[in-house]
DNA sequence: CCACACAAACCGACCAGACGGTACGGAGGT
DNA sequence: ACCTCCGTACCGTCTGGTCGGTTTGTGTGG
């Protein structure tokens, strides 16, 4: 197996503590105590506290990217229309973000705590993701389905604002299910960007 | 006068450093050095580092609340329709958020660094603001202008996600002016929430 | 089945330094 | 004489990270 029990436990504890207390206010001592391991064990697998934080980003970015490409590929194979694909992508990223809510909390809140190089990498990978998203928008605009009087950059920001904001208001114990939220936000977004015929 | 030069300089420096480096990674030493005062002077006016952070929240919350009420009152006096008032409110909060972009950065990023009581107060005042916003939405729904198939809580989240996300992507040196952004986001939002007749 | 070797896994006491905050005294106005 | 304002030196605490050493696992030769 690729990951040991120690790594798993530490990352799990780190995610939990970072998302509830914040990165800076969580000490390595707390993390290893919560994980049930010692500092020596932890520093055997991770070079720094920063590694723990970055692991959270890496996992989420990889996951979202993979899902995006999977959906786009499946849509292309099926010959789906742009709006259909875009809807699937939107609903999926929202659902996934709800599934990984603690990660989302850390993601928005602690980006500036990463080392500068890693901040750059996170930015780069987010940009890549956005560009793939933008390609869908452009296709839709070209086909006359989506409005062309608002820059795509703003449409992207408009959608991902919802995605990032999820961790600040959504509660699994609340009235709405993840699926409902995904559907409704996507609907609001699509309604906003459709061309007026 | 109410505020001394020391207070002003310190708060200005704190805002600048908190927004660029983050609260936890900014030391009191750095702040007083940037403000050109000594620690003794600072601690004469502020009880703790936390006070500096809360001052940023307090100012922004007060400002936004005041502007909201002003606009709603003006709209009521003029006898404006709900959509007209809501549009004015939305455009104003976006413009204001752009005007106070560093405050917005700190706002979203450092809420969990406040003392628990102050976190509660921030939450309470935000909720008050949202409730006033919600009243507009409800009025619009009642009048059949806005859709009633999506919970108002979600419509609120959908709009304020854009507001909070501004500090993460908007650049004053970018292509879009504050006014354009305010107009376009508001347009996207309103288009999304209008009832389909 | 054992003895041995060697590396990976792990322990926990221990730094060096930075941090927020304080104590105390002086300066200057009233 | 007194109070506000502020400078300086200092304190106790906590932090991320290290390091020498021990334990555990595993492959190997007899």
Q: What homologous superfamily does CATH list for A48-193?
A: Tetracycline Repressor, domain 2 (1.10.357.10)
Least CB-CB distance to A109: which of B109, B151, B189? Answer: B109
Query: Three-class SS of residue B63?
Result: helix
Nucleotide in closest CA–C1' contact with A43:
D17
Cα–Cα distance, A114 to B93 (Å, whole number): 31
Q: Are B25 and A161 within 8 A, CB to CB?
A: no
Q: Which residues of A touch B22 (CB under 8 A)?
A: 24, 112-113
Least Cα distance to B101 among B162, B164, B14, B195 occurs for: B164
Listed residue (B189, B197, B15) closest to B102, CA to CA:
B15
Domain boundaries, chain A: 1-46, 48-193
For A187, B50, B76, B127, the CA distances from B66, given in Å and listed in that order, are 32, 24, 15, 15
Per-residue pLDDT of chain B (197 residues; tens, 9 = 90+): 457 789 999 999 999 999 999 999 999 999 999 999 999 999 999 999 999 999 999 999 999 999 999 999 999 999 999 999 999 999 999 999 999 999 999 999 999 999 999 999 999 999 999 999 999 999 999 999 999 999 999 999 999 999 999 999 999 999 999 999 999 999 999 999 999 86
Q: Which nucleotide is nearest to A45 (CA to C1')?
A: C9
- In tens, the pLDDT along A129-149 reads 999 999 999 999 999 999 999
pLDDT for the residue numbered A5 = 87
Quote the pLDDT of residue B147.
97
| Mean per-residue pLDDT, A53-82 | 97
Q: DSSP assignment of B121-177, as one string?
A: HHHHHHHHHHHHHHHHHHHHHHTTSB-SSS-HHHHHHHHHHHHHHHHHH--TTSSS-
Can you give the distance from the CA of residue B48 to the C1' of nucleotide D1 in angstroms?
32
CA atoms of B100 and B172, how far apart (whole Å): 11
Q: Which residues pair with B194 in a beta bridge?
A: B146
User: Which residue, among B16, B17, B85, B5, has the nearest Cα to B45 in the 3D structure?
Assistant: B5
Query: Which residues, 6 or more positions from B107, have their beta carbon under 8 angstroms from its beta carbon?
Result: B56, B57, B60, B164, B167
- Cβ-Cβ contacts under 8 Å, B21 against chain A: 112
Nearest chain B CA: its distance from A188 CA (Å): 5
B191 touches chain A (CB under 8 A): yes
Instruction: Confirm whether any atom of chain D, the nucleic acid strand, is less than 7 Å from CB of A4.
Output: no
Instruction: Give percent of chain A above pLDDT 90.
Output: 96
> Under CATH, to which class is B49-193 assigned?
mainly alpha
Nucleotide nearest the Cα atom of B47 (by C1'): C21
Looking at residues A62-81, what average pLDDT do you find?
97
Rounded distance in angstroms from the CA atom of residue A23 to the C1' atom of nucleotide C10 = 25
Closest-CA residue of chain B to A111: B109
Q: What is the pLDDT of residue A2?
A: 54
Cα distance between residue B36 and residue B38, in whole Å: 7
Does A157 contact B165 at a Cβ distance shorter than 8 Å?
A: yes
Asked if B184 has any chain A CB less than 8 Å from its own CB, the reply is yes
Q: Is B118 exposed, middle or buried (0-12, 13-18, 19+ CB in 10 A)?
A: middle
Q: Are the Cβ atoms of B109 and A112 closer than 8 angstroms?
A: yes
Q: How far apart are the first and last CA of chain A?
A: 56
Distance from CA of A151 to the nearest CA of B (A): 9
Whether A48 CB is under 7 Å from strand D: yes
Chain A contact present for B192, CB below 8 A: yes
Residue A1 pLDDT class (50, 70, 90 cuts): very low
Mark which residues 124-183 of A lie under 8 Å from B by CB: 150-151, 153-155, 157-158, 160-162, 164-165, 168-170, 175-176, 181
pLDDT at B26: 98
CATH topology for the A1-46 domain: Arc Repressor Mutant, subunit A (1.10.10)
Which residue's entry shows tokens 């650049």?
B171
* A172-186: pLDDT as tens digits: 999 999 999 999 999
A21/B112 CB distance under 8 A: yes
């Amino acid at each position: 197996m690729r990951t040991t029990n120690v790594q798993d436990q530490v990352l799990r504890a780190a995610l939990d503590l970072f998302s509830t207390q914040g990165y800076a206010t969580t000490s390595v001592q707390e993390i290893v105590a919560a994980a049930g391991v010692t500092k020596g064990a932890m520093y055997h697998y991770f070079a720094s506290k920063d590694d723990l934080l970055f692991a959270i980003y890496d996992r989420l970015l990889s996951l979202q990217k993979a899902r995006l490409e999977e959906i786009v590929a499946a849509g292309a194979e099926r010959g789906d229309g742009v709006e259909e694909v875009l809807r699937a992508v939107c609903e999926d990223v929202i659902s996934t973000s709800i599934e990984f809510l603690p990660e989302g909390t850390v993601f928005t809140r602690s980006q500036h705590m990463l080392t500068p190089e890693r901040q750059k990498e996170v930015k780069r990978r987010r940009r890549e993701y956005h560009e793939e998203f933008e390609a869908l928008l452009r296709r839709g605009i070209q086909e006359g389905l989506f409005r062309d009087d608002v820059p795509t950059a703003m449409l992207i920001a408009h959608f991902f604002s919802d995605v990032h904001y999820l961790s600040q208001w959504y509660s699994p114990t609340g009235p709405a299910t993840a699926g409902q939220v995904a559907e409704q936000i996507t609907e609001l977004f699509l309604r906003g960007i459709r061309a007026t015929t």
